[in-house]
Structure 1
């Protein structure tokens, strides 16, 4: 194919008559090299580079006098095309826009699309001047780890923009260095000094922060931002002086913002950034922040299944954003756009992106950090990053058109089926009105868009997609990525269903013996191997690797299947578990399958209260009862304080046995504790009653305001 550029019925360049060339200066050499690289990679040919300006050229320039650093401008007449940018990055975006106009699309970090295999066209007498809708645009997806993709969409980079990023209190004043000798520098929280935060009113604290910041700024004085942000926790100082500032400037956040604001005044030539997160999410009261302090609002607990602007469940977030826009002129937004607990499970929220970003722009947000799956290729990540990268440039794109265009480009002959799959996922989620949490999971949505009936429909659609590209290896691999997302969802749900329909275990014989479903473990192993081949090192934010996932699967296969010797009993929950962690209800405690280390699957949890469970043993000879408890201290799940077993006879409760749990010790691993209660003379009782006494106080290392202890139980095994 010749490199020929046309206008609408007006010839600009015809390669048969003259040679198209490229003019650049020393300042634009990198942009010139990039443009030629794109032509070479997509078209298999490059453009002649000329050191002299003449007709029939693409002329590149950096013009910082009339264009700001994020603006590009394109002008064409009957002879030339001129592309200018206020900076190198803006020029590179201008080149990308030009290439998109003539039909060359950068879809992913690895893939291009050429709209026509005939002639490439660009109009004569064309003019466009453009800048992105957000001044800061960071996309935490695989594409932004690729320089060409990043340049194409004019994306920012944490490594170059920030010398200090994220949660930084621990970095600026490390507890390992200061806490033991000077605990007064740290937060007085719930009556004790806590290294998870600082004392804002201690003069030495500010001096240490100032000294460390000076050191860091000297190391990289050209960095755009330096983050001074709380640790990833809700601890704050409650000493008398800090509480006075909290009272004056806003509950538990007042002293925090006075401290950050005062620190920013010490560095007027540098931009400090702080995260408005958890207990500091709300803006301070009666305090306008200084010009060089940027705030990044991080609403972690927002429904992702509806747009921010429309969902009644996001009303509080909208109010907070409005208040922030009154408090600072430098407002950024941390957007959470994937399911962090299960990167490979469907998370249908792409339909919200355009309305969300248009709303953020109208609310005065100047920049967006869109957090995805980092460098991990998660479910539909290619489409997600493509849409988000374009929205950061222009929030007014037609979302439906862009989604269809991308799917057509990326999935070829399978596109009609993939679009059907995408639309069915989205419509099922919207029709269910289910709350999408960024720490959601395939089991929580088992009655909504990931129900067995819907899963069966998705499976058939993907079968159709596979058939449509069966002779195309590249496209088949892309469909396989979608197939394995369904596989992962099925694996997770099969643990929940256990020995029931759709479960991981099937009945082997009339003797009620169950065994793992045929070929299921091999499918899990194939899933693990495929992810390893793709270089996927974790399948969730918590760092679970494909190998670890397969190892846990094999452990579950051996651990979860309860012996048929366990007696079948009826139980009744006399006190109800937490609504969020009610699993399969009472049946889930006697379904013949032990829950493992994922608290989302089959565990029942009581949050801040005790449990009373009645077991019908009439006509049964019971010798002992085994109870299984989960301990996951990171999520405030602890073993209970004690268990009391009683029998009911003639309406009277008769004590049988009491078992006390030991004092808690700090534990960062996930553990399962099994306890056995002996029963004598069970024939004397119609019912047994289990009373499980929750812990009244949290241990010091996990004590947080308004938090209570939860215990989780599964299964109650009667022998």
Structure 2
């Protein structure tokens, strides 16, 4: 990406200069046009339409006699914005009124026939549009749904210089004179269904301006059910106990993780229950009949036979979904090509009314899909599904799930990835960002994705520079430099960028200590550039949040030393001031902005602050067991990481992120012995555990502590039961603490008892619980 080279200036100065610039260079040329008439002349300089001058206009807006809701809205939007731009009022009349030379003709209008203008509305379909000048008239005519409304917003943006960066940040240039040159701008979206799943994009006008397919709640009104629906269609809580055969056979046992797709009764129940849901929402076209969010699919003889024949578990899925689709010929039945079912079947083809939702969850984000050697399998799957499916929607991912606010330099892959999908027959895309408020450059990402889903051929640099200048004002240049340098560092490192990564994975690539210092300098520069503008300063500080977060996460991983949480002084271990000074401003700004979660499904800003303060209070503790040898009785030490014997007594505490500083194993009890090397007076033992129940990490049922002098004869000093439920799916930590009368002790034994397999009602039904344990503290 090229550097952004505008001199620092206030956003107000920029807007004033922009107005002068736009007025001087009229007529305004379109930012892009997917198709243009061969008669269109480039760089037209002669004005043909004087739309408004000195707060007056000869023009009126003509709507069809039976205008649709969207055509009526298009007329009112055009009227409102022209008034704001020029002060001129454009009357709105129906096409039944007398004809005038000075008309803006909107929609599928009778006036078009009167004028002898032949527009191919079949070509425009639902959302396409034509913006065209004809003599002194301006025509904005669109497809059967929101095409005309989209045409009006494009006219405002590309020809009148308006922008909508977010629902709260618009640019509406003031012009005494609006003059237009010849226009012949035909646009048909490359992607038919376009959804950007960022909360910042859920505003109703933002949605229409940027041509997205969701409502103000982020819902897709044309969809009756939306992914992972097997449990909803055949609920385990109703059927599993009496009919375990309805569910997956895994390792010889029926568990309610997925459906048995060759069981005729399952098919009957699915169709029956789906009919009820369709009856409750008959207007919806798309209905998802799709796998649950786990990998335990059925391996019974019948399901396995189909999957082996088709070369993929998608075989039994398509076999089942086709049968459901036959019963709903006027609906589209959607199913997932996701994880184990991503590969297309060899012989089966989805029925005409079956939609394939293909998910890109596994691919890297450091390189575009077409150029990434590790994405070869995914490219093949896209191509293979494209050969057999008539209707494909891609579920793409553009954020780091485990760390929603973390730096994630993937902006360079957005355009080539969307273009790749478009070339391979993908007609619908769902770009999953952050369903919560916030996320790194959420506003910028939403803006870019919306534009690119409409036209993947757009110049991303131009779009980005325009957004940054409009949204950050004089801080645009250092922020653009920050983006460019971080992306360049990732590319230079050759490291992978994955949606389930963390800032700690980037410590040798785009978040090295030296680079972090450089980024901090750029944000200092950005804040100084807008220091006199509180609104812009707040936006810059919000953009800075991900870097603060990365520094704190890396400090927790390092734990001690120059880049850790704690630093050793002549007075002992102390909290590093740089870390202590970040947590409160970080949390407070998250709360002001409306951020609800730091991680997907868990960790509010206040919970994050609490976790940090917990860490501060525990400190760097060189306790009696510090760096002492740990002997594992259970689980088998040969199946644990090499550092397991040291990590439980290394003084480094785990925190809210389960990905580091926690020893993890599944389906077994913990039993360890620690040798203090000599007898010492002991009065307190504690051990910490992590719960993230939705993803099978569950606290032990109970923890027992024992002490001994000889390592053979142990006395129990505590038996602590867990009282936290496993149906609260956020991240939680618990310290199991035992205080007792001091006594001489050399050996400590700890037993933590696993829950075993999860119960039937749990999302991970029947699977072994995972235990995560951290520091053992002896005092």
**TM-score bracket for this pair, using the shorter chain length:** 0.7 to 0.9
Which deviates more, 633-642 or 540-549?
633-642
Q: Equivalent residue for 1:84?
A: 141
Q: CA deviation at 1:465?
A: 0.4
Aligned residue for 1:56?
Answer: 102
Choose 605-614 or 26-35, whichever is displaced more: 605-614
Cα contact 2:694–2:763 (8 A) shared by 1: no
C-alpha separation in 2, matches of 1:136 and 1:206: 29
The C-alpha deviation readout for 1:216-269, integer Å capped at 9, x for no partner, is 223333323111112222232233333333333345443222111111111112
Distance 1:299 1:282 in 2: 12
- 1:99 aligns with 156
- 1:633-672 paired onto structure 2 within 5 Å: 634-637=694-697, 667-668=726-727, 670-672=732-734
Gaps of 5+ in 2: 1-18, 29-43, 109-118
Counterpart of 2:599 in structure 1 is: 540
2:90 — aligned with what?
A: 47
Structure 1 pair 92–246 and aligned structure 2 pair: CA distance change class (3 A): same
Match for residue 448 of structure 1 among 509, 513, 516: 509
Distance in 2 (alpha carbons) for counterparts of 1:656 and 1:309: 64
Whole-angstrom CA distance in 2 between matches of 1:299 and 1:37: 41
The size of the alignment, in residue pairs, is 704
Name the SS for the 2:224 alignment partner: strand
Q: Which moved more, 1:429-438 or 1:241-250?
A: 241-250
8 Å CA contact retained: 1:639, 1:661 = no
Matched, 1:20 2:63: no
Q: Which sits farther off after the overlay, 276-285 or 467-476? A: 276-285
Task: Could you tell me which runs of 5 or more consecutive residues in structure 1 were left unpaired when the two chains were aligned.
Answer: none
Deviations 1:503-550 (A, max 9, x none): 23344653x2x3434485564233333222222222222142222222
Instruction: Tell me how large the CA RMSD over aligned residues is.
Output: 4.1
How has the CA–CA distance of structure 1 residues 625 and 236 changed in structure 2, closer, same or farther, with 3 Å as cutoff? same
Instruction: For residues 359-413 of structure 1, give each alpha carbon's deviation from its aligned partner in whole angstroms, at most 9, with x where no partner exists.
Output: 1111221110111112512210111011101111111112222222221222111
Query: Relative to 1, partners in 2 of residues 1:394 and 1:192: Cα closer, same or farther, differing over 3 Å?
Result: same
Question: Larger relative contact order (C-alpha < 8 A, sep ≥ 6)?
Answer: 2
CA contact 2:625–2:649 (8 Å) conserved in 1:
no
Q: C-alpha distance in 2, partners of 1:573/1:303?
A: 39
Q: 338, 342, 351: which one pairs with 1:281?
A: 342
The correspondence for 1:240, drawn from 301, 304, 308, is 301
Measured against aligned partners, the alpha-carbon deviations of 1:401-454 in whole angstroms (never above 9, x if no partner) come to 222222122211111101011111211222222222222222232332122222
User: Residues of 1 paired with 2:433 and 2:480: CA distance?
Assistant: 22
1:109 counterpart (138, 150, 167): 167
For residue 124 of structure 2, give the secondary structure of its aligned residue in structure 1.
coil
Q: Which residue matches 2:36?
A: none
Match of 2:209 among 143, 152, 171: 152
Change (3 A) 1:325 1:661: farther
- Are the counterparts in 1 of residues 166 and 201 from structure 2 also a CA contact under 8 Å? no
After superposition, residues 331-410 of structure 1 pair within 5 angstroms as 331-410=392-471
Do the aligned residues in 2 keep the contact of 1:645 with 1:656 (CA within 8 Å)? no
Question: Which stretch shifts more, 494-503 or 461-470?
Answer: 494-503
**Would the aligned equivalents of 1:234 and 1:704 in 2 still touch at CA under 8 Å?**
no
Q: Please say if 1:715 is aligned against 2:772.
A: no
On the 8 A contact 2:200/2:437 being kept in 1, the answer is no
- TM superposition shift of 1:628: 4.4
- Is 1:413–1:469's contact at 8 Å kept on the other side of the alignment? yes
Q: Name the counterpart of 1:10.
A: 46
In the TM superposition, what are the counterparts of 1:427-506 in structure 2 within 5 Å? 427-506=488-567
Q: What SS does the corresponding residue of 2:482 show, helix, strand or coil? A: helix
Distance 1:423 1:44, change over 3 A: farther
Distance in 1 between the 2:469 and 2:200 partners? 19
State the 1:588 CA deviation. Answer: 5.3
- Per the TM alignment, residue 82 of structure 1 is displaced from its structure 2 partner at its CA by 0.5
CA separation of 1:421 and 1:53: change in aligned 2, threshold 3 A: farther
Indicate how the Cα distance of structure 1 residues 695 and 286 shifts in structure 2: closer, same or farther if over 3 A, else same.
farther
CA distance in 1, matches of 2:554, 2:774: 17
Q: Which residue of 1 aligns with 2:192?
A: 135
